[in-house]
Structure 1
Amino acid sequence: FNHTSPKLEFFIQELPIPPIAKPFQPNDGDNEPRYRMKKVLIKHQFHPDLPPTTMYGYNGIHPGPTFHVNVNEPIKVDWVNNLPLEHPLGFAIDPTLDEIGINHLPDGPPTFTAYPNGQDPTTLWYHDHALGITRLNVYTGLAGMFLIRKPGLDEKLGLPTGEYEIPLVLQDKFFNKDGSLFYPTVGKPGHFPVWVSDFEADTPIVNGKVAPYLKVEPRKYRFRILNGANYREWNLHFEEENLHFTLIGADGGYLPKPVVVNEVALAIAERVDLIVDFTNFKNQSVFLRNNATRHESDFLLPKLMRFDVLSDVKSKDNTTIPRKLPFHPAPRCIHKTRTMTLAEPNEQYLLNNRLYLGPVDLHPIVNTTEVWRIINLTNETHPIHIHLGEFSLIK
């Protein structure tokens, strides 16, 4: 395909912070926190030089509201929509509730999903998972972040909290001149002309705005970053050589200890939890950049957003970088070892040489531990997640 978005000026919009999802009190006497997430058609302003974009949003906004919930605190969410059900990525929930887009939920009385949140503190996200069109619905706005916390833990560790903890949703998009989103319908040579499973666009988006800026104090900030792009991988770094990232967590929760790095790689749907210290950059602007490349990509997107560091802090920064973090190692007692292969012959996606809707022949037992050796036989990076729970990477 051959498409170019209108040329847009970067760093002229302030970064928006998605609001925190608020529970409501249902009339059925249930005391568990209850949330309502309604999928609606919205007009969203990605850039002042573009007309508003018609797209989908949760509760009327894009990205959707951010959930802040506690470990082992069950909640219920009413998903009200006219498209297939949302898919919570990385959640440990009842398998009967793990909708994969085959069922359809029309507009009408809301249907709730229960989330026990019985897992370690971590950075998750939620998104639409309609079978065959997940990529379209996420691209059109149906995604948001979901943070699980242990009460008092972040304060005990001395980590930045409140206004100094900021979610960043990274995406890329194509636009038409009328502000509408462009999604290619004809892919690379040899692909079926309707099925375009992946592409990289030419405009960087952070929290629903084109290459925004953020005013920060000269102090430590915590960023929860999600790669919500269709296909693009990011390799994040700062333009300033002496400004680094301190990694404290990833998809499954906290790391064993903080790790200082100059670059952070993010594959599709991957999350990272990190600290950035702006203390030594008073009255300066610093730039978050991307240097990830694919050999077939025409759009590298080196510029993502700008941080304008103020001259002083509102109050003393008492946060610290802890020496150790509350990491839970993998269990030592292994009940079974399996080998899984990923293959992609002729645009088919196979797991152990089986199609998605093939018969179920793996039956893990509750409360046992397995080692899965996953072998990627395709020619591209493929992030892995397992429905209904998390896993520990051991090699």
Structure 2
Amino acid sequence: MTEVITRPAVPSAGPTSGLTKFLDPLRVPPVLRPHLSWHQDELTVTMIRTEVRLHSQLPPTTVWAYDGHFPGPTIVVRRGRPLRITWTNGIEGKIPLVAVQAPIASAPQNTPGFRNPDGSLPAGVSLIEGVTDLPSWNVVHLHGARTGGGNDGWAHNSVLKDASQLAEYPNDQQATTLWYHDHAMAITRFNLHAGLAGVYLVRDEEEDALDLPSGEREVPLVISDRNLDTDSRGNLTGQLLYKVPYLTTPAGAALHLPFSGPFTLVNGVIWPRLDVEARWYRFRVVNASNSRFYQLRLVDDATGEPLDDAVRQIGTDGGLLPRPAALPAGGLTIAPAERADLLIDFSRLRGRHVRLTNGHRTAAPEPDIMQFRVEDRARHDRFELPEVLSPSYVRLHHGTTVPEDHDHIFVGLVPPGSGGEDHPQMWELQEITDPARIPATLPAPGIVQLTDPNTGQVRTFERVASLFDDTTSVFIDHERWAIWNFVHLGGPTHPMHVHLSQFQALTRSNLALDPATGAAAGFDVAVGGTTAPLPAPGPGRPLDPQEEGWKDTYQVSAGEWLTIAGRFDGATGNFMYHCHILDHEDEGMMRPFVVMPAQAARFHVHRFGGGHHHGEAAEGA
């Protein structure tokens, strides 16, 4: 149990709710390294209920945490050394959340508390039924890991208190920043919000040769957002508050928007500070928020002067970039679950206080994230930024590094309201090759016609699955390459995450949007289908240098057609892919896929044919 100190409650008025920014030092999670047992690297990590201080001016907050740390310990492993982890559920009691829904107009989500001063609920505000009854039912997913389906954190394989999940991670992948978090079916958003997340670092010889900043100058930055409850006087209590706004649809249903909170945390501390030497530092940034996007910028505390030129990105989700990359103009946008390996040269900022800020359009009322206080003295730093980071990096291109013989998977991301469903949806699409099966009258529910940008041919697809428990339709042969086509037909930007493999983006192209509906022009939202073949997409936004690296999570905006390529050679089993806005994931935007040996797949009888049932299809533009 964390030691607590009694302090007065804090009034909640204003963007900071009375909390002093940059008052508390950044907490750095402890490092956990495997120990050798019976010729096998092993660890045991226990989830427990504990109390932490999110800010020194707040009362303690009850959380669920790995080994009692929020975020969990940073696990460090070597490439090629398998690790077995026993993830033990030792959590007492029910989930430590108050979850409420509130009309967006009268009680926006970026304000703490939800009751009137007399304790009554404002009009339209209500508790989300059932959340306070949730037991500790948890399963750990090592996000970005190449590991078998039995170790991957299959959402239904969650365990209750006093049970354990046994997982083996081969660590047969290049040096990178992974992270582990809860993945329980339908309640991931609540379990992760309660505190279940941590960093997992893989190291290898290629990374060692760079002699990057290490020790106290290599710091994980787990960024997240939270909301807090208030008492009858409007003072913050420290109690985690999961408050989501809703809109009332024309049909009278409540359309919930994803959670977003007013308080930004780094390593479990609200608006912390870090004292740094005037040397290079390495920061392993993880966006562990439920839904918030961050547009990261470095600015001078006194003048607001942009200092992005002191920052270089050296890695993404899947490992090192081929060479250092400057931040994009306006800052680096990082979606939920994305990681960024950043170097900052503080020798250029001696004696200054600088802030890491969020300039994204969905930023909280207070855009600051944390502060760095740079010492005012010269330091000898033998580190020099290398020109080449990863000599082993190979850029993927269709037909060369991606062989001609590969699978195609088509996924439609459709806007709220499509076919009468209130929430955004994810449709698995199967091409109709028999013209007699194409409906004579369009639009028809679940029928999407696309124009192949390479051949100009019209291809007709049907929705074959949407919810997780629908028929499995994606089967990939082990060691086979697959190109995933995410076709966004309208709605919010989705960070799409595919388990097991690491990918490279091949193309981004754009479909025209109807300004009246925000959906792709030619997509009938009410029916949930295209009225006619959508025109071939035009050129999309160019890939940033960061997107040319290996990644497992991609931002897909309305109207975009994104193609990514990866090889499924790491393991076999049942896996998942989903939107990593956790509210969307839990509300249905998650689907399974299967990887199995081709020799076995030939004997597998299922609805949609063999491992390469998708065949050759459009690549995107």
- TM-score after normalising by structure 2: 0.59
What is residue 616 of structure 2 aligned with on the other side?
none
Q: Is the 8 A contact 2:411 2:426 kept in 1?
A: no
The structure 2 residue matched to 1:388, chosen from 484, 487, 500, is 500
What is residue 264 of structure 2 aligned with on the other side?
204
Q: Is the 8 A contact 1:154 1:161 kept in 2?
A: no
Deviates more, 1:236-245 or 1:213-222: 236-245
Listed one character per residue, the Cα deviations across residues 330-382 of structure 1 (whole Å, up to 9, x for unaligned) are: 33314223322223542263232422111112211111112222112241111
Matched residues, percent identical?
A: 31
Q: Once superposed, which parts of structure 1, at least 4 consecutive aligned residues long, lie more than 4 Å away?
A: none
What is residue 339 of structure 1 aligned with on the other side?
410
Q: Is the 8 A contact 1:158 1:318 kept in 2?
A: no
Please state how far the C-alpha of 1:118 moved relative to its aligned partner. 1.0
What is residue 427 of structure 2 aligned with on the other side?
351
Pairwise CA RMSD = 2.1
1:329 paired with 2:395, answer yes
Alpha-carbon distance between aligned partners in 2 of 1:51 and 1:356, rounded to the nearest angstrom: 40
Alpha-carbon distance between aligned partners in 1 of 2:245 and 2:282, rounded to the nearest angstrom: 40
What is residue 199 of structure 2 aligned with on the other side?
145
The letter for the 1-side match of 2:146 is A
Please state how far the C-alpha of 1:197 moved relative to its aligned partner. 5.8
SS of the residue aligned with 2:200? strand
The letter for the 2-side match of 1:39 is M
Please state how far the C-alpha of 1:47 moved relative to its aligned partner. 0.8
Please state how far the C-alpha of 1:310 moved relative to its aligned partner. 0.8
C-alpha distance 252-132 of structure 1, shift in aligned 2 (>3 A): same
C-alpha distance 118-192 of structure 1, shift in aligned 2 (>3 A): farther
Please state how far the C-alpha of 1:113 moved relative to its aligned partner. 0.2
Alpha-carbon distance between aligned partners in 1 of 2:244 and 2:469, rounded to the nearest angstrom: 25
The structure 1 residue matched to 2:361, chosen from 293, 296, 314, is 293
Larger Rg: 2
Q: Is the 8 A contact 2:293 2:336 kept in 1?
A: yes
The structure 1 residue matched to 2:320, chosen from 254, 257, 282, is 254
1:37 paired with 2:57, answer no
The letter for the 2-side match of 1:58 is Y
Please state how far the C-alpha of 1:99 moved relative to its aligned partner. 2.9
What is residue 611 of structure 2 aligned with on the other side?
none
The letter for the 2-side match of 1:54 is T
What is residue 371 of structure 1 aligned with on the other side?
483
C-alpha distance 19-116 of structure 1, shift in aligned 2 (>3 A): same
Q: How many residues align?
A: 384
Q: Is the 8 A contact 2:151 2:166 kept in 1?
A: no
Alpha-carbon distance between aligned partners in 2 of 1:348 and 1:303, rounded to the nearest angstrom: 30
Alpha-carbon distance between aligned partners in 2 of 1:88 and 1:291, rounded to the nearest angstrom: 29
SS of the residue aligned with 1:178? strand
C-alpha distance 148-73 of structure 1, shift in aligned 2 (>3 A): same
Alpha-carbon distance between aligned partners in 1 of 2:257 and 2:145, rounded to the nearest angstrom: 25
Please state how far the C-alpha of 1:51 moved relative to its aligned partner. 0.5
The structure 1 residue matched to 2:166, chosen from 102, 112, 130, is 112
- TM-score after normalising by structure 1: 0.91
Please state how far the C-alpha of 1:243 moved relative to its aligned partner. 4.2
Task: Give the unaligned 5+ runs of structure 1.
Answer: none
Listed one character per residue, the Cα deviations across residues 265-307 of structure 1 (whole Å, up to 9, x for unaligned) are: 111111111111011221111111111013xx7x343111110
What is residue 233 of structure 1 aligned with on the other side?
293
SS of the residue aligned with 1:361? coil
